[in-house]
Amino acid sequence: MGQTAHEHGTTAVFASVEKACRERGLRLTPLRRQVLELILQAGGPVKAYDLLDSLKTSHHSAAPPTVYRALDFLLENHFIHRLETRNAYVSCFHPEASHSGQFLICEQCDQVTEINAPEMTQGVLKAAAEQGFKPSKEVVEVYGTCRKCIE
């Protein structure tokens, strides 16, 4: 079953991220926290330069490397996902566990739903292994129309 940011709630995501940081000995700096908060508040895919524009209201000296370092930290620790086809970022709705990104993206309202389909990941990894291929990452993005827009 998939979840959107609205359904999961930003408080739950923050609690999971904070817990994961404590358990892994990671530092969630104020800037990293603010970038994560901006991604959660966006309610859909958000681009790095949009994050930079938002950050400049409170961090006047914010520059692209500042945002990209925060994004790299959040990505490396599986707190957010990058939508490859959109070059944009969305929150991870269960950041306590490392996993591949699988998303349903509505072409009408831009709603992004993260799904959990481990059998899909296993199928891709098995097919890759049969070809002697070692994947470095897997992101599945399925575009279409969400239930709300169909109704």
CA atoms within 13 A on the CB side of 35: 28
**Angle, vertex CA 11, rays to CA 9 and CA 14, nearest 5:** 115
The beta-strand segments (E) located in the chain are 80-83, 88-91, 101-106, 112-114, 139-144
* Predicted confidence pLDDT, tens digits, the chain (151 residues): 454 444 456 788 888 899 999 999 999 999 999 999 999 988 789 999 999 999 888 877 788 888 999 999 999 998 999 999 999 999 887 666 666 778 999 999 988 988 888 888 899 999 999 999 999 888 889 999 999 999 8
Residue 143 belongs to domain spanning: 5-150
Q: What is the pLDDT of residue 134?
A: 93
Strand, coil or helix: 139: strand
pTM of the model: 0.81
**Could you tell me which residues are beta bridge partners of residue 114?**
3, 103
Read off the CATH number of the domain in which 57 is found. 1.10.10.10
Among 94, 86, 54, smallest CA distance to 70 is for 54
User: Can you give the pLDDT at residue 16?
Assistant: 87
What total number of domains does the chain contain? 1
